[in-house]
Amino acid sequence: MLGEGIIKGMAETARNFVGSYHDPLRLTTVEYPEAKIAAKENARNFPFLVFDGDDAMKGLRCVACQICEKECPPQCIFIVKDTVKKPDYIGKMQVQPKIFNIDISVCMSCQICVEVCPFEAIKMDTSFELSNYDRFGGLLLDKHQLARPNGYYHKIHAIEAEEVDARLAAEKAKAEAKAKADAEAKTKAAAAAAAKPPALAAPVK
Amino acid sequence: MIGDLLQGLAVMIWKVATDQPDPKTDFLAVIPAGIQPVVSAVLSVIPILIVFPSLFALTTLLERKGLGRIQNRLGPNRVGPFGLLQPAADGLKMLTKEDIVPRDADKLLHFLAPVVLLVPTLLAYAVLPFGRNLVPVEIDAGMVFFFAVGASTELSIFMAGWSSRNKYSLLGAMRAISQMISYEIPLIISTVPVIMLTGSLSLVEIVNRQEGFLFGVLPRWHVFTPWGFAGFIIFLIASLAESNRSPFDIPEAESEIIAGHLTEYSGFKYALFFLAEYLGMFAMSGLAVTLFLGGWRAPLPFLGEVPGYMWFLGKLMGLVCVFIWIRGTVPRLRVDQLLNFAWKFLLPLSLINLVTAAVWHFSVGWSFPGALPVRWLICAAMVAAPYAGLGRALTGGGKPTRRTYRFAE
């Protein structure tokens, strides 16, 4: 009969109205500045730079290869290479960025920089309280503001960070094994060389 | 002189608060005879200007809180305790906002529209009996006055839509006109049975005719009769449409035409429109209370000592809460659904209701055994059967029909 659906709907909304007073679980919203809903694992807004260890500038994974700068669709990344090199996580000497700026007023959160980075150096952040009184300078973040410890990365994207760490550890182990093998080969060659000289010298005579 | 004035004022407030007749006489006795009529009129107007706009402020908060709870949210709770100062914050915001007038607008009409809207809305309160002895103007044709004044709000809505020189404003205004004219008819016809059975157009007389109790408990309100119940429901639906409230908020449907005739209004003019809309809703609810819910009369015999205006305000707020409840439940209608509903359902139903009222009126003298239940049954059937039949006709037999598209499939 006409009006049946309206009666049912009115009963439903009345249930919601009464229920929201005695059952706090019904309330789907939180009172924002006091309470916050934790970000989801795959949440993202703007990129940040990961560093290992305690010193942000020493442990920065970025090697200033400028791939992200070239790939960035809205071109919000600006990188200048430093002339001084520093060792990376394996111990190999690498270039480091002198300037690494991201203009988050231009950034469109596409995550392409993260996808293309071969060094796991740039990741997406989830923080959203970024309002600022200076809309030009305040939203242009330099490498000091962008640097976040690996622990922070673990905190916001736990599963992804585990994978990254495992991959880096595997690479490091491989590199170390290779270095060891190289060193062994070298010592073997040296030993062989030490043993051979008389034989080699003979034909010269 | 000043002392007498203050004393007269105190007596007047005391008399109003305790429901006594002629509260104004003591105060007016101090005033020079020449300006007595003017002062008397001002004394009647001031309480209306204080009570109903403050009720409007309260209702905006109540509405936002209620809608929030219906949607399992908290609603505004930041300004003051429980958000009680929210209306003050809203008012300040409205007052300090820039008042924008479009360059190509008809400036005079654009300015006049909110003012012209507010005047008839406030005038409608002149004939409502708020309490036992509280009627601003007691005229014999109170109902005619109410509807005559209420119908002129359409003019100012069209003024607003036309003068803004904006397609959305004009569309909204045209929708408002078609809606209001369609719903004015069932609105007025649904009140005709009340006039037929009370034999009076005076709202005071209509309230007086609803005095007393059936079997000592059931008040003799019109809503507790078959024709009164049907009339009340039709009146309620039509008054929802008249006051542009959801589900009939087609003239200002924000998802379709931005805000209809309000699109080009900002700041205090917008607030005036908003105020007039709510005042119109209160006046409609007040008339519904007066016609069908016994006006200021108490619902139970032993509650008769409570002042009448308390009952009036209580019933009015109850209706407003129902309006808010409906707004939180029912989605907006399409224009064709709205007009079909008015012309194919509400109008025939209200016309049939006239016949029901006539049967009720002429069967009052029946004296055979079991006359009362028979009379009730006949009238109830005369309400229920057309409702079911017209409902089936309107919805296509109750079964959802598959929509066919000529070009989209």
Asked if residue A191 is part of any domain, the answer here is no
Split into its structural domains, chain B has a count of 2
Q: Is residue A151 part of a domain?
A: yes
- Is residue B61, in this structure, part of any structural domain at all? no
Domain final residue pick, B310, B336, B362: B336
Q: Are A20 and B69 in contact (CB < 8 Å)?
A: yes
- Say if B386 falls within a structural domain: no
Confidence at residue B154, expressed as pLDDT on a 0 to 100 scale: 85
Which structure tokens are listed for B329? 């439940």
CB contact under 8 A, B391 and A1: yes
Q: A12, A13, A26: which to substitute to probe chain B, counting the most B Cβ within 10 Å?
A: A13
Task: Name residues whose C-beta falls within 8 Å of residue B94's C-beta, 6 or more positions apart in sequence.
Answer: B267, B268, B270, B271
Indicate if B40 and B109 belong to the same structural domain: no
Verify that B317 and B231 share a domain, yes or no.
Answer: yes
Range of the domain at B19: 2-46
Residues B306, B198 share a domain: yes
**Same domain membership, residue B21 and residue B133:** no
Do B108 and B167 fall within a single domain?
Answer: yes
Q: What is the ipTM of this complex?
A: 0.78
Does the global pTM surpass 0.95? no
Strand order in the sheet with A147-149: A122-124, A47-51, A147-149
Among A2, A19, A21, the residue with its CB nearest the CB of B394 is A2
Is B179 found in the same domain as B299?
Answer: yes
**Are residues B184 and B41 part of one domain?**
no
Chain A, residues 79-118, CB within 8 A of chain B, namely none
Q: Give Cα B210 distance to the centre of its chain.
A: 20
pLDDT of residue B254: 80
Find the closest chain B residue to A11 by CA distance: B329
Q: From the list A2, A16, A31, which residue is nearest B70 (CB)? A: A16
In a domain? residue B400: no
Whether A150 is in a domain gets the answer yes
Q: Which chain A residue shows the shortest CA-CA distance from B328?
A: A13
pLDDT in tens, chain A (205 residues): 788 888 999 999 999 999 888 888 888 888 888 888 888 888 898 999 999 888 888 888 888 889 999 999 999 999 999 888 888 877 788 888 999 999 999 999 999 999 999 888 999 998 888 888 988 888 999 989 999 998 999 988 889 889 998 998 998 899 889 888 988 888 888 888 887 665 555 555 5
Distance from CA of B69 to the nearest CA of A (A): 5
Amino acid at A81: K
Question: What pLDDT, on a 0 to 100 scale, did the predictor assign at position B319?
Answer: 92
Amino acid at A95: V
Q: Is B397 within 8 Å of chain A by CB?
A: no
- Domain contains B342: no
- Does residue B380 sit within a domain? no
C-alpha atoms less than 13 angstroms from C-alpha of B361 in its C-beta half-sphere: 14
| Strand intervals (E) in B188-264 | 213-214, 218-219
Which of B74, B322, B329 to substitute to test the interface with A, most A CBs within 10 Å? B329
pLDDT value of position A21 = 87
Q: How far is CA A155 from the centre of its chain?
A: 12
DSSP state of B148: H
Chain B interface test: which of A7, A17, A23 (most B C-beta within 10 Å): A17
- Contacts A–B by Cβ distance under 8 A: 51
d(CA B83, CA B65): 9
φ, ψ at B23 (rounded to 5°): -65, -20
B232 found inside a domain = yes
Domain contains A37: no
Residue in A with minimal Cα distance to B77? A31
Q: Which of B286, B144, B150, B141 is nearest to B205 (CA)?
A: B141
Peptide linkage before B247 cis (omega within 30 of 0)? yes
A3 lies in a domain?
A: no
Please identify, among B314, B336, B358, the residue that sits at the C-terminal boundary of a domain: B336
The reply to whether B151 and B267 lie within a common domain is yes
B308 found inside a domain: yes
Contact map slice: B 336-365 vs A, CB within 8 A? 345
Query: Which residues does chain B have with pLDDT short of 50?
Result: none
Query: How many CB atoms sit inside 10 A of residue B326's CB?
Result: 20
- Is residue B375 a part of any domain in this protein? no
Domain shared by B148 and B8, yes or no: no
Per CB-CB distance under 8 Å, the chain A contacts of B326 are 10
Q: C-alpha angle B113/B183/A3, rounded to 5°?
A: 130
Among the partner-chain residues B69, B388, B395, the one whose CB lies closest to the CB of A17 is: B69
Residue A170 lies in a domain: no
B298-337 residues touching A, CB cutoff 8 A: 325-326, 328-330
| CATH of residue A146 | 3.30.70.3270
Question: Is B244 found in the same domain as B180?
Answer: yes
> Which residues in chain A are contacts of B74 at CB distance < 8 A?
27, 29, 31
Both B39 and B132 in a single domain?
Answer: no
- CB-CB under 8 Å, A17 with B70: yes
Look at residue A105 and tell me if it is in a domain. Answer: yes
The boundaries of the domain holding residue A159 are: 47-165
Q: Could you give the number of structural domains in chain A?
A: 1
Residue for token digits 């001031």?
B46
CB contact under 8 A, B329 and A10: yes
Is A54 inside any structural domain?
yes
Tell me whether residues A28 and B387 touch, CB distance under 8 A: no
Same domain, B255 and B158: yes
